[in-house]
Amino acid sequence: MKKENKSVIIWLLSGCVLLFLMVVVGGITRLTNSGLSMTDWHLVTDTFPPLTEAKWNEAFEQYKKFPEYQKINIHNDFQLADYKFIYFWEWFHRFIGRIIGLVFFVPFVYFLIKKKLDTPTIKKCIVLLAMGGFQGFLGWFMVRSGLIDNPDVSHFRLSLHLTFAFITFAYTLWVALDLIYPERNINRIIPLRTIARYALAALLIQIIYGGFVAGLNAGLIHNHWPLMSDGEFIHESVFIEQSSLVKNLIEGKSGVQFVHRTFAYAVVAIILFLFFKSKKYALTRTQSNGINILVLFVFIQFLLGVFTLLYSVPLALGLIHQVMAFFLLSAMTYTLHRVSK
C-alpha cells in the first residue's frame, strides 16, 4: 500500500462498512415488514422522523390510505405505537442511504481538489457514485410496487435492489483492493481466476434467489432438510403454483425455494473445486488465506441456510444468514482479486 493512498483506502472501506450496515438494516426492515411504512419520498423533509405527536398522527393517517394497512394491519389492532416501530426501521434504512451519499460524495470532491486520486481511480469512483444513485432509485422503485394494489413489494424488484447493493459493495471493495495492492501480482494464476469468476457468478445467482425467497416469504414453507415436504426431493407443489415451469421457478414459492436450496450445493461445489484446484499451485499467503476463508465462510453460510429454513426464518437467523452472505461475497471478491491481479 502506498502511503499517499491510505486516506483514500480508509474512505472506500468506510463506504463498504456503511453499505454493509445498510443491507443489515434493510434485512431487518424486510423481516419486520417495515418497508411500506413511509409512503412517500422527499430528499430533505424525510431526513428526520416526525418530531411531534401531531406529525406522527399525520403520517399514520397517510399510511392508512395504502393497501398494507387497509388489507392487513387494519385487522391486527394496529396502533400508532406499532406504526412508530415499523416507521423507524424504514426511516433508518433511508437515513443510512443519505449518509452513504454524503460519505462518498464529499470526500470524493476533497480528494479531487487535493489531487489524491489518479485517473483510473477517478473513473472507478464516478462509477461508484452512479451506482449509489441508481441504488437509491431502485429502493423507491421497489417500494412503489407495494403501494398500489398488492400490499407487498415485487420480489423481482426486492431482489434487484438487494443484489445491486451487494454488487456495489463488492465493486467498492475491489477499488479499495486495487489501492491496497497497487503492484501487479507476478503470481497470477489464470485457471484459478477462471474458476473464481464462475464461483462469483454462481454466488450472485444464489443472492438473486435469496432475494426471491425473501420477497415471496418462500422460507415459510417446506421447512425440512435435506428433503422438502412429504420426504420429496422435488415436491409436487414446485410444478403447480404457476402456469409454466419457468414461472414456477421464478414466481412460485415452492419453485423459488427449491432453486435456492438446491443451487446452494452448486455454490459449495464450485468453491470446493477452487480449493482443491489451488493445491496444484504455489500460492502467495494472500491467495491461500483468501481461498481458505472462502471455504470456511461458504460452509457456515450453508449451515445457516439450513437452520434458517428448519426454524421457519426467525428474525435473528434470517438476519445472520443475510449478514453471512456479505462476508461470503467479501471473501469471494478478495480471492478473485488476489488470483487476478
Which residues fall in the annotated binding site for heme?
260, 321
CA 120 to chain centre: 27
Q: CB–CB of 132/101 below 8 Å?
A: yes
CA neighbor of 35 nearest in space, from 172, 144, 179? 144
CA neighbor of 185 nearest in space, from 117, 100, 106, 285? 285
Containing H/E element for 168? helix 155-180
The amino acid sitting at 337 is: H
CA neighbor of 109 nearest in space, from 94, 125, 124, 86? 125
Residue with cell 470524493: 108
Report how far residue 155's alpha carbon sits from residue 34's, in angstroms, rounded to the nearest whole number: 15
The amino acid sitting at 251 is: E
Q: Which residues define the annotated binding site?
A: 260, 321
CA 340 to chain centre: 24
Q: CB–CB of 175/121 below 8 Å?
A: yes
What's the CA angle centered on 231, arms 229 and 235, to 5 degrees?
50
C-alpha cell at position 92: 433508518
Neighbours of 227 (CB within 10 A): 12
Residue with cell 406504526: 83
Instruction: Kindly tell me the burial class for residue 139, based on how many C-beta atoms sit within 10 Å of its own C-beta (0-12, 13-18, 19 or more).
Output: buried
Report how far residue 125's alpha carbon sits from residue 107's, in angstroms, rounded to the nearest whole number: 11
What's the CA angle centered on 168, arms 110 and 92, to 5 degrees?
80
